[in-house]
Each structure stands twice: as structure tokens, then as C-alpha cells.
Amino acid sequence: MAGGVSRTIGDTDFSLNLGRFETGGFDATKPGAFGHDPDKDGHRNENFSGRIAHRLSTRNELGLTIFQSDGRTHFDNDPTIDAVNHQTLSAFSLYSSNQITDSWRSLLRAGQSQDRSTTTGAFPSFFGTRQPQFTWQNDIKLGPGTAIAGAEYVAQRVTSDSAFAQNHRTIKSAFAGYAGTYEKHDWQANIRADDNSQFGNHTTGLLGYGYRLTSELRLRAGAGSAFKAPTFNDLYAIDPSLFFIPNPDLRPERSRSKEAGMNYQVGMNRFSATYFENHITDLIVFVFDPNAGVGTVQNLNRARIKGTELSYQGSVGRLQASAQLTLQDPVDEETGKLLPRRAREFGSVTVGSVAGRWRFGAEVTASGARFDSADEDPAKRTHGYALLNLTASYALARDWSVRARWNNVFDRDYELAQNFNTPGSNVFVVLQYQPR
């Protein structure tokens, strides 16, 4: 159940959205899994978000955004005790958007996000984070494009009933870029420098270029780099159940990527093809030892993900259709083995049609086989799958409609992580009121 309202009074805009979701769920784990409890593991979530924006003048605006989500999820970690995770996420931000000159817009934003998670059951625990953040971004029209420049400050703090060797860090960042279009040419160039108090200085960037060969065909290419620090949980969290062992020696992930592709459009039909290649140093992966019954995270020295993405969106007769297909080779470069939980191929096809007040749709999502380990252990292989979902909606009146969705029509049994169940066949029906 969800609802929202938005209004404008004078120079002030208001919006508020409320939501509540509850399901009886299904058994989270399969028999034989660690802590398996043969019961249904339900979930409940209540959330709200809001925004207030006041225009001081045609060039200046002040605003406030808020968000909170409160959820309770039942899960398995003991055969005899119903374990529950209670998580509250919240965030707020204040911003000032100012058109300094005709070509210079400034955005100043300050806010904070929090995450509090309490687990009850056989192995009770508490974990919380607080992250204040300040951002200043400037957009400046310059020649045939727009330049951006700014700075950011983030502080990450964690509290827990586990003793963390380090419970805070700061990231100070500066960024700049330029994007524009001139005749048949498009381009984008970005650079970012991060000073992480725990992992030092890192500079990343992006270069992209596009060329419209004809009115229908556009060619593009790009290259970039990225940096990702391990989380406090990965580094230090102590699991009371001893199912997870942290790794304080984890190194940050660093990656270099490149891609080339084309976009082709004729009328309402759009097709794109992209070749990509991503080299990752010190990729962080989860590794589980079935003999010891514990898991941990570790770095893979060198990983490579390369492949091709194909997509289509358009009309086939009276049907609206879209399709996506990814063919990739995600491997550990030192062993040649597939990366954990990554398939070589996956994709989806969606079709829909309109008949009077009715709308009908069908989609198929599919994935190839994967391994829940870094060494292609045959016992850790999860099979590929294909799922059929159906949708229908009917316009009852100008502002009222009823929608239905039938997921996993053939009730396929499949796994995204070994020994964990996924939803079987299920149906949702929604009554919607949306004033026009």
C-alpha cells in the first residue's frame, strides 16, 4: 500500500509519500543449510519521504528532503529460534540552488544518512552507521558545453556491539568535468580526486566520445577508472554466530574499463550494441568454506570482465517490445575460473499491447549457470533459469485503474545464492488512484 500527495502554494512546493508493504514470505533457506528453520520468513516495511522547495526568486531556491524506511525481516540462523533483523534507514538533506549568473549555477547541499540494524534470535547483534555529507557543485556554460567543478566531504562512523579496530574515516574529494555537443560530435571528460583517511589518495576519471555518422547511426567509445574501499563490516565486523569472519587486511578495489558501441534508430525502433572490458585489481569477493562452516571476504589479485551488451526497444506490429542480452566472460585472470555468482549470459524480453482500456504484458528473464565459489567447485554450481512473468491492467475510470502481476508463472525453482530459496509463483493485485 502506498500513497502520495504534492501541492504548490505560492512559491513553495510540497510533496509527501507514504508506503507500507507486508508479506508472509517463504522459507529463506533450503534443508541442510546453516541454521535452517523450516518456517516462512516474512518481511514488513513502512516508509515515508518528503520534500519542501521554496523559490526565493526566479534564480534562487532553498529545499529540504527527508526519507525514512523501517523494516523487519525474518531469517534463518537457528533451527529452533525465529531470528529477526530490524533495520531503520533515514536520511535528510538541505540544499540551496542558486543561478549566480546566466551561465553559472551553484548547488550547495548538506545532509546526513543513518543505518541502524538490530538482530534478535540465537545470535543477537547491533550495528549502526552515521554519514554526514557536504557537497558543493558548480555548473558553468562554457562554449558548446557545460563545465562542472566542485568539492565533497563525507564522514563515515560506525557503532556496534563488536569491537571494531577502526570505527570512523573521512573522504575529502574534488571533482571537475566538461561535457558538450558540437555538430556531429559529443564528448565528456571527468576527473575526481579522493583523499581517504584510511586508504590514502586516489584519482579516477572518465573520457567519452560520440560521433553521429548519419541521422540514424551514432558511434561511441569511452574509458575510465574507479576506486572502491572495503566496508567496515568487511574489515572488522564480528558475527556472533561465527558464520562470517572479517578480513582487516582487505585492500581497496581498483578498476580500469573501456567500451565501444553504436546506437541505431529508425522511427520508434532503437537498437544498441556495446563491447566492454573491465580489469579489476583486488576485487573483493565472499568465500565460504563448507568444511569449516564459515565464510570470509578476500581480494582476488586480478579479475577481468569483458563482453557484449545488445538491446532493442520499439514496435513489432501492434506490440511494444524491448529486449536486453549480455554475453560476458567474468574470470579471475590468474586462474581462468569464473568469478563467483556471475553468469556468462543473461537477459530479458518484454512485450506489451493495448486494447481499449486494457493493457497486457509478458516478460521472460533468463540467466546462465553460475558458481557460488571462486574455484568453480562442481558442488557449488547453481543452474541457469528462465522465468515468465505476466502483467495486465484495466482503466476503471479517468483516475482509477487496477493492475495485476503474476511472477514466476511456472513456479520455477532457482537459486541466486546456493542454499537460499527464491520466490515461487506469486500474484500481486493493485488498485491505483492517480488524479490527472
pLDDT tens digits for range 277-320: 999 999 998 887 655 567 888 999 899 999 999 999 999 888 99
Mean pLDDT, residues 117-126: 86
Share of the chain above pLDDT 70, in %: 97
Mean pLDDT of 131-156: 97
pLDDT digits (tens, 9 = 90+) for 187-204: 999 999 999 999 999 999
Q: Which pLDDT band, with edges at 50, 70 and 90, does 153 fall under?
A: very high
- Classify residue 380 by its DSSP letter: G
Domain with CATH 2.40.170.20 in the chain: 124-433
Q: Which three cell numbers stand for residue 93?
A: 538533506
Average of per-residue pLDDT across 102-128: 92
- Give the model's pLDDT for residue 375: 87
Residue 150 has pLDDT above 80, yes or no: yes
Helix ranges, 182-248 (H): 232-236
pLDDT at 384 over 80: yes
412's grid cell: 520455477
Tens digit of each residue's pLDDT (9 = 90 or more) over 172-181 = 999 999 999 9
Q: Is the pLDDT of residue 160 over 60?
A: yes
Cα 77 to Cα 84: distance, rounded to the nearest angstrom:
10
User: Across the chain, which distance is largest between two alpha carbons, in Å?
Assistant: 69
Q: Where are the beta strands (DSSP E) in 161-268?
A: 168-182, 185-196, 200-212, 217-228, 244-245, 253-266
In this prediction, residue 155 has a pLDDT band, given cuts at 50, 70 and 90, of: very high
pLDDT band at 427 (very low <50, low <70, confident <90, very high): very high
| Cα–Cα distance list, 410 to 364, 423, 425 (Å) | 11, 12, 7
Phi, psi of 378, deg, nearest 5: -55, -30
Domain 124-433 class, CATH top level? mainly beta
Q: How far apart are CA 119 and CA 116, in angstroms?
A: 10
pLDDT value at 332 more than 80: yes
pTM equals 0.88
**Average model confidence (pLDDT) across the chain:** 93
Nearest to 108 by CA among 129, 136, 88: 136
